[in-house]
Amino acid sequence: MKNLASLNNQITILSINQQLDGGDNFFMSFSRFCGQEIYEPLIELNTVDNILFNQVIIENNILKQNIYQSIVYASKCNNMTINNSYFKYNINSDGIVGSLYVVNCFYIQIQNSTFKQNASLRLKGGAISIQNSIHIAEVYILNYAFIQNSPKFSTVGAIYLQNSNLIIENSNITSTSVLIGGGIYYQQVIPDFILELSKSGKSNNNQIKNNYARFYVSNIGPTIRKIDKDLKNVQIPKGSVKLLSDREIDIQEFKSGNKIIFEKIELLDEENNPIKMSNINQTEFQFFCSDVSNIFSLYLCRYLGIRQIRKYR
């Protein structure tokens, strides 16, 4: 498909559902889709072997009342390539991710393209969500820009990965703004580029910075990584003895039923920044997506539970 254009319509442009044996290809180039207000994906591709978007512009589209899909939705495909394309100013009012949602695909390559100011208003994801349930997806991102993708009440500004490996080079992820996970948020599999960055410090010419998360994980990271404790100000029972080292505390003469009270405990994310639970406004909490609500219910209970530790012998 070549040289397609659709402006200010209210219809799905394309939906392909192949048989389970696949064997088909989908190629789109030099096309532009702008100003659509839709209730089903603008483009939906299911069980297609090879997908290519080349020099495609998808901008200023709104998907409404669809909690399962996004502006562009692909599932059970072998290879997907996006080249020299632009996804800008797209909004998913009720579903996952603002522009591109890929499910159970094997290989995804995105190069020389830009995602800018895409947002999901209610569920996770600003720009891209790649989720696999069984096989690990292999994702390659080269010469890419993710700018100001900012889902207001949810997680993940730029890239969300579930059971997916990622190699990223010569790319910029900047100026996203979310509640949790501003830049890259991953689950189940630690991406290769994270392992390489942690071992050798090699960034592969990526600029992943100046992203903002209101609560935690501004640039890269999946979750809370460790607990930071102020050991110097630990309160111990009368008659007990406290011995301190750099990172450990030894409490002696401790009896059954006694309490140890930690005055300051912080939960730290992967970037060693503390979770900012004091910033939670109860009025707006009702608007947070279910992911954020569940995360805070879990960590708030843990946080309150470890503030006071009772040890029995």
Give tens-digit pLDDT for 29-72: 999 999 999 999 999 999 999 999 999 999 999 999 998 899 99
Q: What mean pLDDT comes out for the span 278-300?
A: 67
Nearest CA-CA partner of 138 in 160, 104, 103, 106: 106
Torsion angle (degrees, nearest 10) of CA 20, 63, 167, 269:
-120
pLDDT at 308 over 60: no
Share of the chain above pLDDT 90, in %: 39
Share of the chain above pLDDT 70, in %: 82
- pLDDT of res. 313: 32
Measure Cα distances from 61 to 13, 72, 95, 232 in Å: 12, 10, 14, 55
From 64-68, 149-153, 192-196, the region with the lowest mean pLDDT = 149-153
- pLDDT of res. 307: 45
Q: Where are the beta strands (DSSP E) in 188-283?
A: 207-209, 212-216, 224-229, 241-244, 249-252, 259-261, 265-269
**How far is residue 75's CA from residue 73's CA, in Å, rounded to a whole number?**
7
Helix residue ranges per DSSP H, the chain? 192-200, 282-285, 290-306
From 37-46, 111-120, 285-294, the region with the lowest mean pLDDT = 285-294
What phi and psi values does residue 52 have, to the nearest 5 degrees? Answer: -135, 125
